[in-house]
Amino acid sequence: MAAALPNDRLGFLLSFRGELTGARIRAALGVAGLHPRSVMTLMQLASGATSQRDLAAAMEIDPSQLVAILNELEGQGLAERRRDPADRRRHIVEITETGAAALERVDTAVNAAERELFGGLTDAEQALLRSLLDRVVVDPTGHDCGAE
């Protein structure tokens, strides 16, 4: 018997809709002329200044990848690196006022994107969708399923 078609499967549906939603969100993140990864970094920095090591850990990326992102952000005046006087190996990374302003423009664009994506759902339905999604993939531990 034929295997179930992708479009009939809830897992595929969630994966594909998530991909479309991600693409729409990423397009909104680009309003400030920034890469999505740069915006995600600014969002992290908005919570407070940190070292590059901690920042990379929070974003779950390798510290070496963060270098290029921060170079770009610093070149655009959206973030700043300065040496930690207490440990001169460390960089303290901070968002600038310009960076915070860019983040606000991005925020407005993301709000618009979400209205567009979820505008067909009532507030109650959006809350329901959120609660259902929160109960998916509840236990990612156990199998790393080496998709290598």
Partner DNA sequence: TATTGTTATACTCTATAACTATA
Partner DNA sequence: TATAGTTATAGAGTATAACAATA
Token pair in block for residue 100: 């915070």
Residues 65-84 that bind DNA (CB under 7 A): 65-67, 70-71, 81
Told to check if 62 binds DNA by CB under 7 A, we report yes
Gap between the Cα atoms of 30 and 113, Å rounded: 12
Q: Which tokens go with 35?
A: 């890469």
* Site for its own copies, rule CB under 8 A: 1-7, 9-28, 30, 40, 43, 46-47, 103-104, 106-107, 110-111, 113-114, 116-118, 120-121, 125-126, 128-130, 132-140, 143, 145-148
Q: How far is CA 30 from CA 16, 38, 57, 98, 107, in A?
A: 21, 10, 24, 16, 11
Q: Which long-range contacts (CB under 8 A, 24 or more apart) does 112-116 make?
A: 112/28, 113/24, 113/25, 113/27, 113/28, 114/25, 116/24
Give the number of residues in contact with DNA, rule: CB under 7 A: 21
Closest approach of Cβ 87 to DNA, in Å? Answer: 5
48 binds, among DNA, its own copies, none (CB under 5 to 8 A by kind): none
Chain contacts with DNA (rule: CB under 7 A): 35, 37, 51-53, 56, 61-67, 70-71, 81, 87-91
